[in-house]
């Protein structure tokens, strides 16, 4: 038993940490709050990135890259945004080291090399980008600008967790500029839909589309849309956000355009992003006590083939069957690995690929060949099936689709069971303590009530669902009138 992980029941947090490390997604690093994303974890991110990037391109966006550093004077231009991030900014103050005269062989910051103006390491890029857009935009003919960047950002978090919250993380941030409010709003909603589609169809992670309350809104935004997912421990995870920024950044950076009648107006803006946090969400949505469970559409490796043999003669016979199978699977666009390494025995390989969440495993032994079959095992349900070799590649292709669908349906069933409508404060507290998940409740719309509920229970309003129905009710906490239900939950 070389690699065992803590069970979810014993300690959910420890299970998560064990899983990330033992499945080789990431490692802790020598830098406080920063992690190393290992090749398997990065492969997962690359797969997600490739799909999202295509979805962005298909909706008319292009990629660009802006600087890591933001001069402090630019950063503080949009005051609300700057204040919102001020407490977690890394700041570059010097540009040179020198030998330390008091400690031979050691270096020190050269006090003579102090920067004229401090550079903020971007926690997000609105400031540097809007400063740049000012030079790109004169007329309505220059609009819209639909730019995305894949980048790293830094937020100096006090308490970090692998993938979910690290000081540095990878993400994409879209920054668009529009001539009208309507167009910007449409863009905001469009990208929210892109995120939701990606989460559900590729990650098999069901999400609720909604709007943030004022206190949870992105600093500097007029409106923040979000997708919220539910983890297996009943806590919610904000998985992506899309912001309608109004004219806030255009005003802060003086970005005006001339419309068709040559009238000057400020540009309308959006920004939207998802990060490597999605990997944490993926892990906590599907995985079990034996390791990762990855949806086929995102899994870096979809199929692994393990030979079981005694001696070179049997190995040769198995090779004769497996090699054409590998070709057939690849021709169907399936990623496959034939693990015929002699370094580990079959049982060890089984456990290892289960830990890594490979969706389908095919075991081929001499006994199978006599009957012209193989053993196909699916990771999500742990089922094993005897399948004929003829037509096997196509069978696997269909099976991968079935696994993808089953994973989504299972996660959705769990999520739906954990959206609990409550009518009063007693029920609210009871559900939160015993069951967890989302609580659908009426709220009076005030930040005061929201804050008091948070203080009392640690639950926050995750979102006001976009499909919330209008109904008359009374606030679960204050008893004041309310027109729609919102979703509360404890959150990551």
Which of 237, 188, 233 is CA-nearest to residue 208? 237
At its nearest, how many Å lie between RNA and the CB of residue 478? 20
Helix (H) or strand (E) holding 441: strand 438-442
Residue 14 lies near RNA (rule: CB under 7 A):
yes
Site mask, RNA, residues 233-252, x = CB under 7 A? -----x--x-----------
Q: List the one residue from 345, 435, 452, 480 that touches RNA (CB under 7 A).
A: 345
Residue 363 lies near RNA (rule: CB under 7 A):
yes
Residue 366 lies near RNA (rule: CB under 7 A):
yes
CA distances 272 to 13, 121, 190, 213, 286, Å, are: 29, 19, 10, 17, 25
Q: List the one residue from 127, 129, 164, 177 that touches RNA (CB under 7 A).
A: 164
Phi-psi region of 75 (alpha: psi -120 to 50; beta: other; left: phi over 0): alpha
Question: Which residue number, 122 or 442, has a Cβ lying nearer to RNA?
Answer: 122
Using a 10 angstrom Cβ sphere, with 0-12 exposed, 13-18 middle and 19 or more buried, the burial of residue 304 is: buried
Residue 169 lies near RNA (rule: CB under 7 A):
yes
At its nearest, how many Å lie between RNA and the CB of residue 426? 22
Question: Which residue number, 260 or 310, has a Cβ lying nearer to RNA?
Answer: 310
How far apart are the C-alpha atoms of 45 and 275, rounded to whole Å?
Answer: 9
Span near RNA by CB under 7 A; candidates 25-33, 44-52, 387-395, 424-432: 25-33
Residue 104 lies near RNA (rule: CB under 7 A):
no
Which of 117, 249, 259, 230 is CA-nearest to residue 173? 249
How far apart are the C-alpha atoms of 7 and 232, rounded to whole Å?
Answer: 13
Residues 276 and 170: beta-carbon distance below 8 Å:
yes
Q: List the one residue from 45, 133, 309, 338 that touches RNA (CB under 7 A).
A: 309
Range 265-294, binding RNA (CB under 7 A): 275, 277, 290
Question: Which residue number, 94 or 458, has a Cβ lying nearer to RNA?
Answer: 458
Residue 32 lies near RNA (rule: CB under 7 A):
yes
Residue 377 lies near RNA (rule: CB under 7 A):
yes
Q: What is the DSSP string of 361-407?
A: EEEEEHHHHHHTEEEEEETTT--EEEEESTTHHHHHHHHHHHHHHHH
At its nearest, how many Å lie between RNA and the CB of residue 350? 4
Q: List the one residue from 25, 77, 308, 422 that touches RNA (CB under 7 A).
A: 308
Contacts of 16 (CB under 8 A, 6+ apart): 161, 162, 280, 283, 284
Residue 448 lies near RNA (rule: CB under 7 A):
no
How far apart are the C-alpha atoms of 93 and 95, rounded to whole Å?
Answer: 7
Using CA atoms of 67, 69, 74, 77 in order, give the dihedral in degrees to the nearest 10. Answer: 100
Can you give the binding site for RNA, defined by CB under 7 A?
1-4, 13-14, 17, 28-34, 84, 87-88, 155, 157-162, 164-167, 169, 216, 218, 238, 241, 275, 277, 290, 308-311, 342-352, 354-355, 363-369, 374-375, 377, 382, 384, 458, 491-492
């Amino acid at each position: 038993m070389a690699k065992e992980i803590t069970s979810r029941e014993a300690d959910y947090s420890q299970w998560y940490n064990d899983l990330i490390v033992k499945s080789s997604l990431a490692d802790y690093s020598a830098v406080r709050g920063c992690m190393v994303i290992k090749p398997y974890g990065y492969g997962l991110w690359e797969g997600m990135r490739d799909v999202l990037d295509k979805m962005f391109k298909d909706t008319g966006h292009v990629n660009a890259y802006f600087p890591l550093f933001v001069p402090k004077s630019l950063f503080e231009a949009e005051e609300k945004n700057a204040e919102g991030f001020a407490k977690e900014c890394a700041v570059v103050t010097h540009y040179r080291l020198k030998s330390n005269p008091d400690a031979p062989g050691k270096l020190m910051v050269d006090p003579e090399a102090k920067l004229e103006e401090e550079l903020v390491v971007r926690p997000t890029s609105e400031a540097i980008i809007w400063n740049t857009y000012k030079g790109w935009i004169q007329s309505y003919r220059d609009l819209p600008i639909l730019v995305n960047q894949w980048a790293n950002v830094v937020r100096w978090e006090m308490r970090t967790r692998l993938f979910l919250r690290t000081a540095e993380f990878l993400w994409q941030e879209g920054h668009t500029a529009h001539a009208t409010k309507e167009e910007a709003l449409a863009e905001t909603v469009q990208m929210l839909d892109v995120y939701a589609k990606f989460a559900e169809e590729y990650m098999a992670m069901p999400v609720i589309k909604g709007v943030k309350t004022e206190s949870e809104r992105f600093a500097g935004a007029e409106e923040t849309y979000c997708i919220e997912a539910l983890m297996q421990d009943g806590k919610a995870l904000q998985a992506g956000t899309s912001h309608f920024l109004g004219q806030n950044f255009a005003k802060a950076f003086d970005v005006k355009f001339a419309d068709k009648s040559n009238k000057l107006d400020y540009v309308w803006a959006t920004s939207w992003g998802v990060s490597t946090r999605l990997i944490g969400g993926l892990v906590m949505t599907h995985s079990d006590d034996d390791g990762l469970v990855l949806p086929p559409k995102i899994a870096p490796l979809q199929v692994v083939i393990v030979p079981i043999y005694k001696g070179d003669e049997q190995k040769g016979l198995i090779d004769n069957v497996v090699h054409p199978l590998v070709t057939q699977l690849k021709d169907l666009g399936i990623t496959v690995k034939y693990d015929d390494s002699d370094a580990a025995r079959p049982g060890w390989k089984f456990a290892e690929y289960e830990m890594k969440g490979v969706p389908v495993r095919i075991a081929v032994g001499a006994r199978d060949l006599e009957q012209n079959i193989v053993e196909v095992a699916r990771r999500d349900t742990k089922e094993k099936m005897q399948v004929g070799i003829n037509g096997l590649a196509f069978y696997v292709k269909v099976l991968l689709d079935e696994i993808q669908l089953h994973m989504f349906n299972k996660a959705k069933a769990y999520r739906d069971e954990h959206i609990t409508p409550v009518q009063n404060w007693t029920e609210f507290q009871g559900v939160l303590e015993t069951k967890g998940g989302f609580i659908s409740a009426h709220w009076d719309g005030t930040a005061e009530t929201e804050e008091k509920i948070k203080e009392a229970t640690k639950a926050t309003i995750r979102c006001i669902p976009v499909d919330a129905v209008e109904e008359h009710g009374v606030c679960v906490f204050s008893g004041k009138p309310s027109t729609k239900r919102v979703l509360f939950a404890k959150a990551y």
